[in-house]
Amino acid sequence: MRFLTITLFTISLCLSISSESDEKSTADTNENNLPDDTMPVTHHHRHHRIRHGNVHRKRQPVCVNGKPVEGVCECELDYVGKHCEKKKNCQSYRRYKNGSCPECLKGYQGDYCEEIICYNGLPNTHHTECLCDDPYSGKHCDELETKRIYSYYNRKVFLLGPLGAISLIPMCAMYMICEYFARKRQVKRVGLMMEGQNINVQDRMLEKLLNNM
């Protein structure tokens, strides 16, 4: 029965797909069979658009620290990137002709010292800021604040709390088992002692007595 429904389903699916492709092919032929006189019109329109495009369509780029020149950003001193959005972080004022510098400031890397280094964290997608791991902070995630460390450990302890409680349960169980056997031994010992003195006492009675002590 199930097999039958599956086959029926597959067949209907195939039919629907094939009919769709049929529609498409008919649409294609329709397009190809367009009357010839429409073609020059579209042709004309396209030319028109392109002619105006050089003035209007070519979008000027957004230059954060620079200005667009012929569709490309020309960056101000010490800025790089497609949108001049990255600052160079050079150690000195020396620059090579290509704009790179011999040495970067601490915490920066890259050809133009434009990439931030995150010592305990990860940089954002543009490598301009760090997302620090707990409990680190600071621009390069290399700072440890006492307050943050406290809150970090407080949170850790809070998380460990339930775990600690759970680990206490076996310990309690062990203690209780030990206690139980110790009491059993005690009962036996007292029983033996009393036997030695020819006093016959039932174990159960003795246990009750000792437990009430």
Ligand X SMILES: *[C@@H]1O[C@H](CO)[C@@H](O)[C@H](O)[C@H]1NC(C)=O
**Nearest CB to ligand X, comparing residues 2 and 97:** 97
Tell the smallest beta-carbon distance from residue 101 to ligand X (Å): 9
CA-wise closest residue to 82 among 60, 62, 112: 62
Tell the smallest beta-carbon distance from residue 110 to ligand X (Å): 9
Tell the smallest beta-carbon distance from residue 21 to ligand X (Å): 52
**Nearest CB to ligand X, comparing residues 65 and 100:** 100
Tell the smallest beta-carbon distance from residue 107 to ligand X (Å): 19
Tell the smallest beta-carbon distance from residue 154 to ligand X (Å): 47
Give the DSSP H/E element, type plus range, for residue 108.
strand 108-109
Q: Using CB under 6 A as the criterion, which residues of the chain lie in contact with ligand X when the complex forms? A: 96, 98, 100, 111
CA distance 132 to 152: 13
What tokens does 50 get?
């392109």
Query: Residue 55: what are its φ and ψ, rounded to 5°?
Result: -95, -45
**Nearest CB to ligand X, comparing residues 97 and 147:** 97
**Nearest CB to ligand X, comparing residues 80 and 118:** 80
Please give the angle made by the CA atoms of 42, 46 and 49, to the nearest 5 degrees. 140
| Termini Cα distance of the chain | 76
Tell the smallest beta-carbon distance from residue 98 to ligand X (Å): 4
10 Å Cβ neighbour count for 114? Answer: 23
CA distance 99 to 110: 12
Q: List C-alpha distances in Å: 5 to 1, 8, 13, 16, 18.
A: 7, 5, 12, 16, 20
CA distance 81 to 104: 17
